[in-house]
Amino acid sequence: MATKRVAICAVAQHKNEPDLWYKRFQNMLLDVLEDLQGQTGFKYGENGVGIIVSASDDFFDARTISNNGVTDVIGGQYLAEEKMAQEGLNAIGYANAIILSGHKDLVLIMGHCKESQGESRNMITNCGFDPFYGRATGLDYLNAAGLQAQAYMRKSGLTDDQLAEIVVRSRQWAARNPYANAQEVVPAGKVKASPMLCDPIRQLHAYPVSDGAVGLLLASEERAREFTDNPVWITGFANCMDAFFFGDRDLTSNFALKKATANACRRAGIQDLKKAADVAEVMDCYAYQQPMWMEGLGFCGDGEGGRFIAEGGPGKYRVNLSGGTLAGNPMIISGLYRAAEATLQLQGGAGDRQVPDAKCAVAHSTNGPAGQFHSVLILEA
Amino acid sequence: MTCKCEDIKDCFVIEARMALPNQYFVGRIGSKWIIAMRDKKKLTGLKCDKCNITYVPPREHCNKCGATIADNWVDVGTTGEIVNFTIVNYNDKHLPKKAPYILGQIKLDGADTPLTHIVADVDPADVHVGMKVKAVFAEGPVNTLMQLDHFEPV
Ligand SMILES: [Zn+2]
The whole-number mean pLDDT for each consecutive block of 10 residues of chain A, a chain of 381 residues, reads: 87 97 95 98 94 95 84 90 93 97 96 97 96 96 98 98 98 98 97 98 98 98 97 98 95 98 98 98 98 98 97 98 98 98 98 97 97 98 97
Residue B143 CA to chain centroid, in angstroms? 14
CA-to-CA distance for A72 and A27, rounded, in angstroms? 11
Question: What confidence score (pLDDT) does residue A66 get?
Answer: 74
Cβ of B72: how many Cβ atoms within 10 Å?
A: 16
Does the CB of A137 have a partner CB in chain B at under 8 Å? yes
Cis peptide before A178 (omega within 30 of 0): no
Question: Could you say which residues from 31 to 70 on chain B have a Cβ atom under 8 Å away from some Cβ of chain A?
Answer: 55-57, 59, 63
Pairing state of beta strands B73-76 and B43-48?
antiparallel
Q: Measured between CB atoms, which of A154, A244, A247 is closest to B116?
A: A247
The answer to whether residue B98 neighbours chain A at the CB level (below 8 Å) is no
Nearest CB to B92; choose among A20, A122, A245: A122
- Contact B12/A at CB under 8 A: no
Contact residues on chain B for A138, CB-CB shorter than 8 A: 88, 92, 94-97, 101, 103, 118
Distance in Å, alpha carbon of B17 to nearest chain A alpha carbon: 8
**Alpha helix segments (H runs only) across chain B:** 27-40
CA distances from A378 to A67, A92, A279 (A): 32, 11, 10
Contact A179 B144 (CB under 8 A): no
Q: Where are the domains of chain A?
A: 6-119+209-226
The residues near B126 (Cβ < 8 Å, ≥ 6 apart) are none
Q: Do the beta carbons of residue A375 and residue A90 sit within 8 Å?
A: yes
What is d(CA A291, CA A13) in angstroms, rounded to the nearest whole number?
26
Instruction: Assign domain A6-119+209-226 to a CATH class.
Output: alpha beta
Reported as a single tens digit per residue, the pLDDT across B83-119 is 999 999 999 999 999 999 999 999 999 999 999 999 9
Closest-CA residue to A366 (of A302, A303, A289, A251): A289
Q: A215 CA to middle of ligand 1, Å?
A: 44
* B27 vs A contacts (CB less than 8 Å): 132
Quick one: pLDDT band at residue B19, thresholds 50, 70, 90?
confident
Q: Which residue of B has its CA nearest to A198?
A: B88
Q: Residue type for A279, please?
A: V
Q: How far is the CA of B50 from the centre of ligand 1 (A)?
A: 5
B54 C-alpha to ligand 1 centroid (Å): 9
CB contact under 8 A, A178 and B2: yes
Q: What is the pLDDT of residue A78?
A: 87
Confidence of residue B5 (pLDDT cuts 50, 70, 90): low
Strands (E), B56-125: 73-76, 79-88, 101-108, 115-119
Half-sphere exposure for B153 (CA within 13 Å, toward CB):
11
* Inter-chain touch B94–A123, beta carbons under 8 Å: yes
Across the interface, of B57, B85, B94, the residue whose CB is closest to A138 is: B94
Q: How far apart are CA A27 and CA A239, in angstroms?
A: 31
Q: Which residues contact B114 (CB under 8 A, 6 or more apart)?
A: A247, B56, B83, B84, B105, B106, B107
Q: CA angle, corner A374, sides to A182 and A122, nearest 5? A: 50
Report the alpha-carbon distance of residue A126 to residue A137 in Å, rounded.
Answer: 9
DSSP state of B98: P
For residue A278, give Cα distances in angstroms to A169, A254, A265: 18, 22, 14
Strand partners, A81: A52
Q: Which regions of A101-258 does DSSP assign to beta strands (E)? A: 106-114, 196-198, 201-202, 211-220, 232-241
Q: Which residue of B has its CA nearest to A11?
A: B1
Q: Do A136 and B145 touch (CB under 8 A)?
A: yes
d(CA A158, CA A287) in angstroms, rounded, equals 11
Q: How far is B132 from chain A (nearest CA, A)?
A: 18
Burial environment of residue A248 by CB neighbours within 10 A (0 to 12, 13 to 18, 19 or more): middle
Q: What's the CA gap between B21 and A359, in Å, rounded?
A: 52
Q: How many CB atoms lie within 10 A of CB A291?
A: 29
